[in-house]
């Protein structure tokens, strides 16, 4: 005969057992075979505790669809969501965010790279950060500013994703709202970028949607899951992110419409007007000295583009409009059909400090800017030429300087090949004698004739000066810190574009200025090498250089920072001679 199964204890019985198991613990006294409630002071408190347990169970059942009652043998956890540790939730939030970012960047790589979430957010930061902070950061890290900015933002967004995961563990709805806000910030930053529209918000929306879906999946699927299943989920989410990241890298390398392939296949035409040859004397054979022409791969790059615009040459056009008699539009083929002029021109960035390397000389091939503008018929009152980039960046150039006879070019070639993508393919402006922030527009798409009263270009709105000529500067390239006693070649470069360099002098310690030997040049639009043979005695010495421009003006020794219109002062180095 089977023994009857003992009924499962009720919740009240469990509670009694937890408090001693006897009637006395519940405040019950026996008298005459009847039960009556005694006066135990703990009764009210314990009754409220039982009621609280029931309410908590009902709330848990409403949220997680569970039944109230004793725990089952195969499920000892009342709330499986809470069974996952905060660390596991942080990992889920991190991976969901990274997977979302990877998918968003993949979508942007296939359509418009500038709409990538981190790229759009980085551009938004650049647009709002104060000029002093921006310049301090550039001084600190140099040309690594953009990679560090986008990396820092990526780390910040990833950390936010981990925090959202931890928050979701206890408060799902605020966590959901945080994901939506992050996605909305990226979408707004992309959609408001110049030249883009609402479609640019799609990559950020996709990123947010995937992150949200990933956390929802984790919340639902991990309720009854063992730790192994949760690890498998995290691996799947990480795999999705890794696959999307690899795909976005591939898409970025190939580029929309094969931009790199088009540029590499471009056969640079022969110039109709070759550059004058400065001769072999333009380059001194001195180790450590900057070459007369800087190779494309070593040429400095300064711009605001977090993601380099990739312009399809087959659909590219240049629009000339504004205060003109006849607005015009030119295709790339139109430019190739015009007279092509070749010139050696040195470019310099206004952010270049004294002795800095944000300057370089190259051989450019392009169309004379003045000739092309003349066809549109600029109005006499149009004193500013605003040039626009494919990414919306603008520069404002005095119109009179375009028409004063200098070799201002719409360049399509650099050092014997098509413009590198990083330097403005398929067309950019090169105007000798002006800093890049008011002239050197890359990825050129528009030329608008207007006035300085009517429009302030990109950097002017951020505190930089209206256009000023490039200041006379000189630099010591070698030696920089150490030298052996005996004859030491001190050498460097000097520049004063559109005025030229007439002389360079070197001072050793506090002695008299010594004239230096100058290289040959064919134009005043390039920098000029210089050198001095120094009989160096042992000890520590200070070398200082100065230049005189083609108009006879000596480089000033007054020290000024780069803001608002370029640095001044003399470059010095301290050399230890052994």
Whether residues 450 and 478 share a domain: the answer is: no
Better-predicted residue by pLDDT, 93 or 477? 477
Better-predicted residue by pLDDT, 433 or 249? 433
Query: Residue 541: which of 510, 572, 574 has the closest Cα?
Result: 574
Whether residues 222 and 311 share a domain: the answer is: no
CA quadruple 338, 339, 341, 347: dihedral, nearest 10: -30
* Pairwise CA distance, residues 438 & 387, whole Å: 9
Whether residues 429 and 546 share a domain: the answer is: no
Q: Is residue 573 part of a domain?
A: yes
**Dihedral over Cα of 113, 115, 118, 122: its sign:** positive
Whether residues 451 and 540 share a domain: the answer is: no
In the predicted model, is pLDDT for residue 41 greater than 60?
no
Whether residues 295 and 212 share a domain: the answer is: no
Q: Is residue 274 part of a domain?
A: no
Q: Which domain holds residue 373?
A: 280-462
Average pLDDT of the chain is 84
Q: Is residue 269 part of a domain?
A: no
Cα-based angle 38, 42, 47 (whole degrees, multiple of 5)? 95
**Angle between helical axes of 117-128 and 202-221 (0-180°, round to 10):** 120
Tell me the residue length of the chain: 578
Contacts (Cβ under 8 Å, ≥6 apart) of 238: 95, 98, 99
Q: Return the CATH number at 477.
A: 2.60.40.650
Contacts (Cβ under 8 Å, ≥6 apart) of 465: 564, 565
Look at residue 257 in the predicted model and tell me its pLDDT.
47
In the predicted model, is pLDDT for residue 240 greater than 60?
yes
Q: Is residue 562 part of a domain?
A: yes
Q: Is 268 left (phi over 0), alpha (psi -120 to 50) or beta?
A: beta
Whether residues 408 and 552 share a domain: the answer is: no
Banded pLDDT at 290 (limits 50, 70, 90): very high
Q: How many domains does the chain have?
A: 4
In the predicted model, is pLDDT for residue 442 greater than 90?
yes
Look at residue 2 in the predicted model and tell me its pLDDT.
42
Q: Return the CATH number at 395.
A: 3.90.420.10
Query: Residue 186: which of 160, 158, 161, 208 has the closest Cα?
Result: 208
Whether residues 330 and 429 share a domain: the answer is: yes
Domain limit, last residue, from 68, 92, 115: 68
Is 190 within 8 Å of 207 (Cβ atoms)? no
Cβ atoms within 10 Å, residue 311 = 26
Lowest mean pLDDT among 99-108, 441-450, 555-564: 99-108
Look at residue 88 in the predicted model and tell me its pLDDT.
83
Q: Is residue 79 part of a domain?
A: no
Supply the Cα-derived Rg of the chain in whole angstroms.
Answer: 36
Better-predicted residue by pLDDT, 73 or 495? 495
Query: Residue 498: which of 471, 470, 524, 527 has the closest Cα?
Result: 524
Whether residues 120 and 244 share a domain: the answer is: yes
In the predicted model, is pLDDT for residue 227 greater than 90?
no
Better-predicted residue by pLDDT, 562 or 20? 562
Peptide bond into 564 cis (omega under 30): yes
**Angle between helical axes of 172-191 and 145-170 (0-180°, round to 10):** 150
pLDDT in tens, 64-80: 444 444 444 334 333 44
Q: Which helix (H) or strand (E) holds 106?
A: helix 86-110
* Pairwise CA distance, residues 366 & 413, whole Å: 7
Lowest mean pLDDT among 38-42, 124-128, 379-383: 38-42
pTM recorded for the entire structure: 0.77
Whether residues 498 and 428 share a domain: the answer is: no
Domain limit, last residue, from 21, 43, 68: 68
Is 344 within 8 Å of 293 (Cβ atoms)? yes
Better-predicted residue by pLDDT, 559 or 254? 559
Percent of the chain with pLDDT over 70: 79
Tell me how far apart the 2 most distant CA atoms of the chain are, in Å. Answer: 127
Q: Is residue 275 part of a domain?
A: no
In the predicted model, is pLDDT for residue 100 greater than 80?
yes
Look at residue 191 in the predicted model and tell me its pLDDT.
92
Look at residue 44 in the predicted model and tell me its pLDDT.
45
* Pairwise CA distance, residues 519 & 361, whole Å: 14
Q: Is residue 377 part of a domain?
A: yes
pLDDT in tens, 119-152: 899 888 888 888 788 878 887 887 788 889 988 9
Whether residues 295 and 414 share a domain: the answer is: yes
Is 447 within 8 Å of 373 (Cβ atoms)? yes
Is 402 within 8 Å of 462 (Cβ atoms)? no
Look at residue 310 in the predicted model and tell me its pLDDT.
85
Domain limit, last residue, from 220, 254, 288: 254
Whether residues 355 and 479 share a domain: the answer is: no
Whether residues 215 and 88 share a domain: the answer is: yes
């Amino acid at each position: 005969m089977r023994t009857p199964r003992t009924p499962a204890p009720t919740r009240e019985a469990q509670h009694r057992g937890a408090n001693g198991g006897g009637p006395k613990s519940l405040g019950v006294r026996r008298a005459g075979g009847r039960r009556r409630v005694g006066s135990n002071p703990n009764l009210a408190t314990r009754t409220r505790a039982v009621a609280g347990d029931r309410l908590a169970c009902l709330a848990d059942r409403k949220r997680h669809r569970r039944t109230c009652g004793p725990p089952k043998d195969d499920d000892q956890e009342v709330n499986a969501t809470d069974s996952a540790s905060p660390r596991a939730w942080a990992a889920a939030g991190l991976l969901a965010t990274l997977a979302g970012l990877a998918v968003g960047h993949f979508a942007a790589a296939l359509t418009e790279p500038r709409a990538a979430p981190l790229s759009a957010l980085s551009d938004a930061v650049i647009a709002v950060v104060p000029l002093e902070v921006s310049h301090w950061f550039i001084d600190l890290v140099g040309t690594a500013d953009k990679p560090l900015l986008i990396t820092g933002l990526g780390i910040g967004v990833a950390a936010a994703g981990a925090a959202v995961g931890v928050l979701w563990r206890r408060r799902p709805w605020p966590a959901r709202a945080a994901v939506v806000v992050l996605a909305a910030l990226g979408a707004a930053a992309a959609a408001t970028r110049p030249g883009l529209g609402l479609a640019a918000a799609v990559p950020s929306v996709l990123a947010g949607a995937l992150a949200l879906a990933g956390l929802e999946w984790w919340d639902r699927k991990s309720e009854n899951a063992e730790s192994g299943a949760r690890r498998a989920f995290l691996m799947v989410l990480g795999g999705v992110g890794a696959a999307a990241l690899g795909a976005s890298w591939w898409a970025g390398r190939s580029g929309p419409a094969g931009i790199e392939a088009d540029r590499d296949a471009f056969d640079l035409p022969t110039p109709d007007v070759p550059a004058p040859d400065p001769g072999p004397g333009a380059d001194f054979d001195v180790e450590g000295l900057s070459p007369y022409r800087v190779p494309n791969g070593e040429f400095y790059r300064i711009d605001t583009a977090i993601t380099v615009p990739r312009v399809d040459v087959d659909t590219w056009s240049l629009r000339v409009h504004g205060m003109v008699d006849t607005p015009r539009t030119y295709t790339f083929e139109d430019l190739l059909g015009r007279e092509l002029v070749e010139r050696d021109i040195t470019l310099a960035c206004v952010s270049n400090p004294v002795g800095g390397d944000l300057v370089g000389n190259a051989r450019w091939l392009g169309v004379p800017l003045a000739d092309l503008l003349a066809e549109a018929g600029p109005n006499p009152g149009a004193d500013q030429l605003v040039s626009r980039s494919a990414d919306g960046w603008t520069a404002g150039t005095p119109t009179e300087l375009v028409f004063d006879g200098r070799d201002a070019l719409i360049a399509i070639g650099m050092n014997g090949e098509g413009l590198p993508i990083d330097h403005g393919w398929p067309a950019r402006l090169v105007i000798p004698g002006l800093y890049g922030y008011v002239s050197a527009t890359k990825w050129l798409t528009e030329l608008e004739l207007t006035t300085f009263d009517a429009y302030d270009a990109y950097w002017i709105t951020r505190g930089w000066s209206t256009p000023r000529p490039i200041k006379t500067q000189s630099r010591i390239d070698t030696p920089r810190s150490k030298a052996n006693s005996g004859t030491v070649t001190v050498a460097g470069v000097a520049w004063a574009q559109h005025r030229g360099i007439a002389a360079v002098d070197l001072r050793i310690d506090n002695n008299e200025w010594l004239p230096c030997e100058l290289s040959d040049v064919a134009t005043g639009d390039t920098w000029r090498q210089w050198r001095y043979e120094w009989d160096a005695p042992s000890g520590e010495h200070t070398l200082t250089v100065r230049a005189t421009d083609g108009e006879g003006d000596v480089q000033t020794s007054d020290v000024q920072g780069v803001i608002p219109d370029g640095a001044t002062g003399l470059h010095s180095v301290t050399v230890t001679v052994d």
